[in-house]
Amino acid sequence: MKNIPHRIYLSEEQLPKQWYNLRADMKEQPDPMLNPATMQPAKVEDLYSVFCEELAKQEMDTTTRYFDIPEEIREVYKMYRPSPLIRAYHLEKVLGTPAKIYYKFEGNNTSGSHKLNSAVAQAYYAKQQGLTSLTTETGAGQWGTALAEACSYFGLPLTIYMVKVSYEQKPFRKAVMRVFDGNVIPSPSNTTKVGSKILEEFPGTTGSLGCAISEAVEKAVTTDGCRYVLGSVLNQVLLHQSIIGLESKTAMEMIDEYPDIVIGCAGGGSNLGGLIAPFMQDKLTGKANPRIVAVEPASCPSLTRGKYAYDFCDTGKITPMAKMYTLGSGFIPSANHAGGLRYHGMSPILSKLYHDGYMEAVSVEQTKVFEAAILFAKNETILPAPESAHAIRAAIDEALRCKETGEAKTILFGLTGTGYFDMTAYESYLDHKMTDYIPTDEDLQKGFDSLPKVD
Ligand SMILES: *Cc1c(COP(=O)(O)O)cnc(C)c1O
């Protein structure tokens, strides 16, 4: 048998030249996005006020199978890609499993996650169109950091509204964004009408993602040449993230491997949609039949307990409505939940694939997630982001099942990032202060009540 190295690197020439659009191979398309003003299917022009034109076209394009990656974007990708595919030999050994475990590591850049893959593309197209600034919100800070890096490269000013509680709890995240010239503002703030109003009503508030989004959006629509950008959920983001899966597939081909199971954590679905893209293509076209597994927190279970319904992609209710698995944009995850992946909805593409039976979903409790994270860190020397550790948990569980059945399955999972800014969460786990809150059906009903009425 061929001796497979621990780390399988692609050469720079093997960096993909195109992104892959999964929709081109789907038997049935996700339901169309609706313009909330008219409740009619959104037209590409409807999106121009929200997204830059090229990205709006990507958002709506269900037929173009491959999109050329502009040379300027590939040049930036080359600073940190191709990213390694790693064989988890040490983890396999400590688990005593016959399974072969591989992971694709996306934490090899300063933003510490896969989010840079789409941030670079979005900043590039904004610059191309002649826009002069961007705004966004950030909760935990990964998206803000990735976008700050991308905007600084293309010389585009960026304002980031950071939820105040994170701004105070994660001072070093803020410092990294400032290194990349990001203008970080704790939200709510006095720089917008909506922020000032909230501050007046609730002077001591520590903010929320919804509020930060509203501020970022107000800033974008009241500033000439400015747009608001999102880091997940959207079809365009999944398209950019397909680079993760394309590289993984090439690397596996080089060692004559093909996954029996592909596993990824799911917040808004961008890393998962990107990782599975070429494997799902094989499944849709009948070339192969890998199992595809989405992993979500038990405290924010959009796929496993959500409803398949039209909802707003953003809490600020300005993007078109999408049909997706959702807990309702009014759903507020428990404050005890430390592991990220708090988004109320799920990528419409993944939602449709899940609805049509091409994908499975599992939910995991956060103490089990941190247990897996620590076992992984000790055996693979990478301290994973709590989000990524959801995928680790599910991969370990699959590998342990293989141990029982004696099957030597090949498992591929996405290791989306590193967890150095999440040490408060790690500490709370190590101090046995972390709890496993699972919402009751009544808790979830409150979120479902916030769903827009569409018939
Ligand atoms: C944002 C993030 C996620 C979840 O987002 P998706 O859009 O679902 O991929 C997962 N892992 C890390 C490290 C992140 O920063």
Q: Where do the structural domains in the chain lie, given as residue ranges?
A: 7-15+69-112+236-449, 39-64+115-228
pLDDT at 140: 83
201 CA distance to ligand 1 middle (Å): 33
**CB distance 269 to 349 below 8 Å:** yes
Which one, of 333, 328, 352, 320, lies nearest residue 439 by Cα? Answer: 333
pLDDT exceeds cutoff 90 at 205: no
For residue 415, the cross-strand partners are 105
DSSP 8-state symbol, 39: -
For the segment 285-296, the average pLDDT, to the nearest whole number, is 98
pLDDT exceeds cutoff 80 at 336: no
Backbone angles phi, psi at 445, to 5 degrees: -60, -35
- Please, what is the average pLDDT of the chain? 94
For the segment 193-198, the average pLDDT, to the nearest whole number, is 91
Q: Is 271 in the pocket of ligand 1 (CB under 6 A)?
A: yes
pLDDT exceeds cutoff 60 at 40: yes
pLDDT exceeds cutoff 90 at 455: no
Q: Is 113 in the pocket of ligand 1 (CB under 6 A)?
A: yes
d(C-alpha 237, C-alpha 225), whole Å: 22
Q: Is 341 in the pocket of ligand 1 (CB under 6 A)?
A: yes
pLDDT at 260: 98
**CB distance 315 to 187 below 8 Å:** no
Predicted confidence (pLDDT) per residue in 389-427, tens digit: 999 999 999 999 999 999 999 999 999 999 998 999 999
Q: Which two tokens stand for residue 199?
A: 């501050």
pLDDT at 316: 67
Q: Ligand 1: which of 114, 136, 143, 300 to mutate, judged by most atoms within 8 Å of the beta carbon?
A: 114
d(C-alpha 242, C-alpha 306), whole Å: 25
d(C-alpha 428, C-alpha 259), whole Å: 35
d(C-alpha 87, C-alpha 387), whole Å: 20
pLDDT at 342: 84
For the segment 270-286, the average pLDDT, to the nearest whole number, is 98
Predicted confidence (pLDDT) per residue in 240-274, tens digit: 999 999 999 999 999 999 999 999 999 999 999 99
**CB distance 88 to 380 below 8 Å:** yes
CATH architecture of 39-64+115-228: 3-Layer(aba) Sandwich (3.40)
Give the ligand 1 atom nearest the CA of 112.
Answer: 13
pLDDT exceeds cutoff 80 at 318: no
The letter for the amino acid at 345 is G
Predicted confidence (pLDDT) per residue in 353-401, tens digit: 999 999 999 999 999 999 999 999 999 999 999 999 999 999 999 999 9
Place of tokens 């499944």: 283
d(C-alpha 444, C-alpha 130), whole Å: 43
pLDDT at 147: 98
Does the pTM exceed 0.85? Answer: yes
d(C-alpha 254, C-alpha 5), whole Å: 11
DSSP 8-state symbol, 262: E
Q: Which two tokens stand for residue 312?
A: 């707003």
Helices (H), 324-434: 348-355, 366-380, 386-405, 423-430
d(C-alpha 382, C-alpha 131), whole Å: 38
pLDDT exceeds cutoff 60 at 1: no
Q: Is 107 in the pocket of ligand 1 (CB under 6 A)?
A: no
Q: What three-state secondary structure class fits 111?
A: coil
Q: Which residues are within 8 A (CB) of 159 and not within 5 positions of it... i.e. 6 or more apart?
A: 133, 134, 135, 136, 182, 183, 185, 216, 219
Burial of 355 per CB tally in 10 Å (0-12, 13-18, 19+): middle
d(C-alpha 400, C-alpha 422), whole Å: 27
Helices (H), 297-357: 302-305, 348-355
**CB distance 241 to 81 below 8 Å:** no
Predicted confidence (pLDDT) per residue in 121-167, tens digit: 999 999 999 999 999 999 889 999 999 999 999 999 999 999 998 89
The protein residue whose alpha carbon is closest to atom 10 in ligand 1 is 387
How are strands ordered across the β-sheet holding 410-415? Answer: 7-8, 85-87, 100-105, 410-415, 261-265, 291-297, 360-364
For the segment 298-321, the average pLDDT, to the nearest whole number, is 88
- Cis status of the peptide bond prior to 82, with omega within 30 of 0: yes
Q: Is 388 in the pocket of ligand 1 (CB under 6 A)?
A: yes
pLDDT at 153: 97
pLDDT exceeds cutoff 70 at 202: yes
Determine the topology of domain 7-15+69-112+236-449 in CATH: Rossmann fold (3.40.50)
pLDDT at 2: 61
pLDDT exceeds cutoff 80 at 314: no
- Percent of the chain at pLDDT > 70 equals 99
Tell me the HSE value of 362 on the side-chain side, using a 13 A CA sphere.
19
d(C-alpha 296, C-alpha 265), whole Å: 6
For residue 309, the cross-strand partners are 324
Q: Ligand 1: which of 136, 265, 421 to mutate, judged by most atoms within 8 Å of the beta carbon?
A: 265
Least confident of 68-82, 85-99, 235-249, 331-345: 331-345
Q: Do domains 7-15+69-112+236-449 and 39-64+115-228 have the same CATH topology?
A: yes
